[in-house]
Chain A
Amino acid sequence: MSTVEERVKKIVCEQLGVKESEVQSTSSFVEDLGADSLDTVELVMALEEEFETEIPDEEAEKLTTVKDAVDYIESHSS
C-alpha cells in the first residue's frame, strides 16, 4: 500500500504533467509546478476522487503545496 504522500505525488504528476523527480513535498503547485487556476481545480477534484473525500472550497484554497495536500488528507481520513 502506497503512503498518502506517494499517492498525492502521483496525482500531481498526472494532473500537472510533471516528472516525479520535480515534485518535492514543499513544491508549490502554482509557483514551482506551473499550475494555472483550472489545473488546481482539477487537482483538487482528482484528490477528492482518489481519497473519497470532499474538500470544501475554503479549504481547497489553502492547499498550495504538496505537503498542504498530504496534511489535509491525513487529518481528514478515518
Chain B
Amino acid sequence: MLEGQVVLVTGASRGIGSAILERFASAGATVIGTATSESGASAIAGRISENGWQGDGVVMNVGDAESVTEGIKTIGQKFGPPTVLVNNAGVTRDGLAMRMKPDDWDEVINTNLSAVYRTSQAVLKGMMKARTGRIINLSSVVARMGNAGQMNYAASKAGIEGMTRSLAREVASRGITVNAIAPGFIETDMTRELDESQRDAMLSAIPAGRLGEAGEVADLAVFLASEGAAYINGETIHVNGGMYMN
C-alpha cells in the first residue's frame, strides 16, 4: 500500500513510535526510525533487518537543530528525501505548576514542540519539490482536556495542534497534508508504571473500559499517510476509547 514511500518516525525505539514504525513497514514503506543514542539507533536497525523490512535506524536528537539537519541529510543521501514524517518523539517532565522548574518547562517545549518546527522545515523542501507529502504529528488528549501536573506537556501538545493547522494551510496547495493524532491512554511503558489505584481511576474515565493499544494509534498514522486521506488536512484526530469527545 505504501511501497516507495520513505517514512521518517522520530522516537521509534518504544511505545507508539515503535508501533508506527512496524505498521508502516508492514504496509511496504521504507522506514527510518530515530533514537537519541547509537545503541538505540542500532537496535532499531536490527529490528528492521530481522523482520526483513526496508529502512534503517538513525541517531537524531530532535531537540538539537544541527542534529536534525545532519540526520535528514544522511537519510536523504541513503533513501531519498522523506515523503512521510511522523513527529512522535516526546518527553514528559511532570510536576505541579507552582513548583515547575524552568528546565522542566524548557526541555518539554524544546523536545516536543520546537522539534516539530525543525523536522518539518527540514523535510518540507523535498515534499514541496515532489508536490506531495504527509506530516503526521503526535499530540495528546491532554492538549484539549488539560492535566494537572502536565502544564508543560499539555502546552507543547496544544502548540503542536496549532502548528498543524497553520502549516496545513501553507502547504496544502502543494499536495502536502499536515495532521495530528491525539491518543488518550495507551498501553506503554509510561502507563504500565502506574499503580492499581491510578489505573482504576484512569479506566473509570474511559467508556471503552480499557487502555488503547499502540497499534490502534499506528493504524491511523498509516491511513493518514495513504492516498485515501489526501483530503484530510489540518485535522487532529482523537484515539482515546471515548474518554474525550469533540
A42: Cβ under 8 A from any B Cβ: yes
Minimum distance in angstroms from B76 CB to a CB of chain A:
13
B interface residues, tally (CB under 8 Å): 6
**Which B residue's beta carbon lies closest to that of A45?**
B125
Within 8 Å of chain B (Cβ to Cβ): is A38? yes
Is B128 part of the binding interface, using a Cβ–Cβ cutoff of 8 Å? yes
Q: Which residues of B contact A45 (CB under 8 A)?
A: 125
CB-CB under 8 A from B199, the residues of chain A are: none
Q: Is B170 an interface residue (CB 8 A)?
A: yes
List chain B residues, Cβ under 8 A from A36.
173
B174 touches A38 (CB 8 A): yes
**Closest chain B CB from A14 CB (angstroms):** 10
Q: Tell me the bound Cα distance from A45 to B129 in angstroms.
A: 11
B92-130 vs A, CB cutoff 8 Å, 1 = contact: the mask equals 000000000000000000000000000000000100100
Chain B 30-68 near chain A by CB (<8 Å), digits 1 or 0:
000000000000000000000000000000000000000
Collect the chain A residues with CB atoms within 8 Å of residue B128's CB: 38, 42
Chain A residues whose C-beta falls within 8 Å of the C-beta of B174 in the assembled complex: 38
- Tell me the smallest distance from the CB of A12 to a CB of chain B, in Å: 15
Q: Which of B166-193 contact A (CB under 8 A)?
A: 170-171, 173-174
Chain A residues, CB < 8 A from B125: 45
A50 to chain B, nearest CB (A): 13
Which A residues from 28 to 43 make CB contacts under 8 A with B?
A: 36, 38, 42
Interface string of B145-184 (1 = CB under 8 A from A): 0000000000000000000000000110110000000000
Q: Which residues of A contact B171 (CB under 8 A)?
A: 38
Q: Please, what's the 1-or-0 string for A13-57, where 1 marks a CB less than 8 Å from any CB in chain B?
A: 000000000000000000000001010001001000000000000
Query: Across the interface, which residues of B come within 8 angstroms of A38, CB to CB?
Result: 128, 170-171, 173-174
A57 to chain B, nearest CB (A): 14
Residue of B nearest to A36 (CB): B173
A42 to B128, CA, bound (A): 8
Instruction: Give the Cβ gap from A40 to chain B, nearest Cβ, in Å.
Output: 13
B173 nearest CB neighbor, chain A only: A38
Give the Cβ gap from B121 to chain A, nearest Cβ, in Å. 11
A38 to B171, CA, bound (A): 8
A30 to B: closest C-beta gap in Å: 15
Could you write out 8 A-B pairs with CB less than 8 Å apart?
A36-B173, A38-B128, A38-B170, A38-B171, A38-B173, A38-B174, A42-B128, A45-B125
Listed from nearest, the 4 A-B pairs whose CB atoms lie closest are A42-B128, A45-B125, A38-B170, A38-B173
- Apart from the given pairs A38-B170, A38-B171, A45-B125, 5 other A-B contacts in the complex at a CB distance below 8 Å: A36-B173, A38-B128, A38-B173, A38-B174, A42-B128
